[in-house]
Amino acid sequence: MKKILFVASESVPFIKTGGLADVVGSLPKYYDKKKYDVRVVLPKYTCIKQELRDQMEYVSNFYMDINGTEQYVGIMQMVYDGVQFYFIDNEYYFGGMVPYGEIYQDIGKFAFFSKAALSILPVIDFRPDLIHCHDWQTGLVPVYLDNFRYGSEYYRGIKTVMTIHNLKFQGKWDTKEVQKITGLPDYYFVPDKLEAYKDANLLKGGIVYSDKVTTVSNSYAEEIKTPFYGEALDGLMSARSNDLVGIVNGLDYEDYSPFMDSRIAKNFTVDTFRTKKVKNKVALQKELGLNEDPKAMMIGIVSRLTDQKGFDLIAYIMDELCQDAIQLVVLGTGTEQYENMFRHFAWKYQGKVSANIFYSEDLSHKIYASCDAFLMPSLFEPCGLSQLMSLRYGTLPIVRETGGLRDTVEPYNEFEKTGTGFSFLNYNAHEMLSTIRYAEHIYYDKKRDWNKIVERAMNQDFSWKNSAKQYEQLYNDLIG
């Protein structure tokens, strides 16, 4: 039995700010239980829902030296959905209403968490063969592990994998401060280790010291070796390219299932979508006050409203797009200018545009199930989950060819009758608009072809089973 420990700053259902939580909460369930004992360590934030906190059991506690002081480390545990979770308890670090705050506080918080995640192992009597770290918040785990090996036989031979969910976030702060906080020797704070451009960089430390580095799609693994996507670490990513692997994230196919989803108006399958999917559209039009027209092409957007997600392109052509025979449904929050832009167009084109400037899990499912197409023109996209959800519900993605979008959406080819969506290459508003209009043409003028694309989309398998198999292979290469 191979022992694997996930270390992460968030996981559903306990705490979620983004896709990382979905990965950490879902992936461990899909490993072969006969071969792998996979457990997860998280911070015990005070903002975790009380009903979940009430289910945690106390294991033990001790004191650990960090930042020149002795800090309390409490250990709690619970089994959720068949997976063993451990929680590191310290209200000084993990108090507050939100999991993340100012970067300098977060550096201290996650330095403590990374050191504690290793320090609890002898106490919980679980010595992993491999520790799987996620994003910059756990970047110090491989570094501390290297440091611990000098003083303790116990930590020798434990392998590490570092997964980069988004290279933009790296955990950078003043070198002297980080050295003081972590208590690590000078030896680590040099340009070929933790230091990058005069600052200490926690993600860089994790990349340098881990045995393998993964990211969440093949294309993104290639892109981050280039200056445009590399966020000033492209040189390091190229240097580690032999150990760099792209594995596309999966989707929890039980949670996102058009034939079992209790949140949507009418369940449907790949065999019944032609007659039943449209009932979701009409129900959503009614709910959101749009013109009730089952034949109108409805385009959905569920996203953070930021530049990274391509909203500057949408802003540029929004007026033109609203002249077309389409309806647009938007759900999400983000940059004020984009929030206000959608509010403005919902006012200007009443009955055609619905702006929902908040977040709702229920409404997101309704949008995936009701729309005909889903717009996702990202500037960069490490993996992306929305396009996987759209495919699952037979809502055809219109995407820019970057990162995980390129790896998961096959552009429609009307001559070969292949493809599961529509895509454009250049980050250009009118190239995007012409792709949307091409999709409109297929939807209105070639309905039979459109339905065939929907069929292919719904038959794709991006469940976690596939991803878990690839991770298992990666672990086997490292620990035999």
In a domain? residue 266 = no
How many structural domains does the chain have? 2
- Three-state secondary structure call for residue 352: coil
394/475 same-domain check: no
Beta bridge partners of 163: 134, 214
Looking up residue 437, the CATH number of its domain turns out to be: 3.40.50.2000
Flag whether 255 is in a domain.
no
Pairing of strands 57-66, 69-80: antiparallel
Together in a domain, 308 and 380: yes
Is there a single domain that holds both residue 180 and residue 62? yes
388 located within any domain = yes
Same domain, 190 and 146: yes
Assess if residue 389 is contained within a domain: yes
> What CA–CA distance (Å, rounded) separates 77 from 56?
5
Residue 30 belongs to some domain of the structure? yes
Burial state string for 26-52 with b = 16 or more CB within 10 A and e = fewer than 16: bbbbbbeeeebbbbbbbbbbeebeeee
Cα separation of the two ends of the chain: 11
Same-domain check for residues 211 and 303: no
| Sheet with strand 199-201: strands edge to edge | 172-174, 199-201, 195-196
Q: Do 321 and 404 lie in a common domain?
A: yes
Nearest alpha-carbon partner for 333 in 304, 353, 307, 312: 304
Give this prediction's pTM. Answer: 0.93
Q: What is the pLDDT of residue 18?
A: 82
Structural contact between residues 44 and 87, judged by C-beta atoms closer than 8 angstroms: yes
Residue 420 burial class via C-beta count within 10 angstroms: exposed 0-12, middle 13-18, buried 19 and up: buried
Element (H, E) at 447: helix 447-458
Asked if residue 351 is part of any domain, the answer here is yes
> Residue 456 contacts by C-beta under 8 Å, 6 or more apart in sequence?
418, 419, 420
pLDDT digits (tens, 9 = 90+) for 327-347: 999 999 999 999 999 999 999
pLDDT for the residue numbered 108: 97
Alpha helix (H) ranges present in 95-233?
Answer: 103-119, 121-124, 140-151, 175-182, 202-209, 218-223
* Torsion, Cα of 92, 148, 161, 3 (10° steps): -90
Neighbour count for residue 344 (Cβ, 10 Å): 13
Residue 312: give the domain boundaries: 273-461
Neighbouring-strand partners of residue 270: none
Asked whether residue 133 falls in the same domain as residue 157, the answer is yes
Give the C-alpha separation, 469 to 467, whole Å: 5
- Burial (0-12, 13-18, 19+ Cβ within 10 Å), 392: buried
| Same domain as 197, residue 315 | no
Q: In degrees rounded to 5, what are phi and psi of residue 92? A: -60, -45
Is residue 258 one of the residues assigned to a domain? no
Determine contact, residues 369/391, Cβ cutoff 8 Å. no
Q: Which residues, listed in sequence order, are joined to residue 200 by a DSSP beta bridge?
A: 173, 195
Residue 414 placed within a domain: yes
- Do 320 and 210 share a structural domain? no
**Residue 175 and residue 303 share a domain:** no
A 10 A CB-CB count for 257 gives 17
pLDDT in tens, 409-436: 999 999 999 999 999 999 999 999 999 9
* Residue in the block written with tokens 């100012």: 102
Name 108's Cβ contacts closer than 8 Å, sequence gap at least 6. 67, 93, 181
Instruction: Render pLDDT for 17-57 as a digit per residue (tens, 0 to 9).
Output: 888 999 999 999 999 999 999 999 999 999 999 999 999 99
**377 prior amide bond cis, ω within 30:** no
Residues 299 and 220 in one domain: no
132 vs 23: CA distance, rounded Å: 12
Return the pLDDT at 67.
86
- The answer to whether 380 and 216 have CB atoms below 8 angstroms apart is no
3-state secondary structure of 38: strand
> Using CA atoms, how far apart are residues 354 and 415, in angstroms rounded to an integer?
35
Q: Are residue 153 and residue 297 in the same domain, yes or no?
A: no
Instruction: Please answer whether residues 433 and 320 qualify as being in contact, where contact means their C-beta atoms are separated by less than 8 angstroms.
Output: yes
Cα 125 to Cα 119, 151, 394: the distances in Å are: 11, 19, 46
Phi, psi dihedral angles at 21 (to 5 degrees): -65, -35
Q: Over pLDDT 90: what percentage of the chain?
A: 97
- Residue segments in the chain with a per-residue pLDDT below the cut of 70: none
